[in-house]
Amino acid sequence: MGTWGIGNFENDDASDWVYDLEKSKGKKILYKALNSVLENAEYIEAPDCCEALAAAEVIYSGLSSDHSGVSEEVIKWLNKKPGLFKKPISFEASDAKKSIETINKILSSSEL
């Protein structure tokens, strides 16, 4: 895994995940990354953690409108309209709760 910093997007796994995020049309990709950690009863490998942390950061950015920790690609995705006259993707408190649970699990039992 290539890493060039301590930020959630400063590694190859998160960078590759953002590429997939850009092509996605909804929040499923976020949930898939979070669930890969939450549903794992074994040792959680670094690549899954990196993707889940990136997903949690996207959710935080979407909820708070603080885009300082995310890339231009993520900002464009957050503002993307899924169809004609539809609103950008929105987040709920349940998304934040799932992100926090994921982060806590990564902190307690993972390769990171």
Give tens-digit pLDDT for 34-74. 999 999 998 999 999 999 999 999 999 999 989 999 999 99
Q: Is residue 2 part of a domain?
A: no
Confidence of residue 84 (pLDDT cuts 50, 70, 90): low
Q: Is residue 7 part of a domain?
A: no
Euclidean distance between CA atoms 31 and 35, whole angstroms: 6
Q: Is residue 21 part of a domain?
A: yes
| Global confidence as pTM | 0.91
Total domain count, the chain = 1
Confidence of residue 82 (pLDDT cuts 50, 70, 90): low
Q: Which domain holds residue 85?
A: 12-108
Q: Is residue 84 part of a domain?
A: yes
Euclidean distance between CA atoms 52 and 37, whole angstroms: 7
> Where does residue 95 rank: exposed (0-12), middle (13-18), buried (19+ CB within 10 A)?
buried
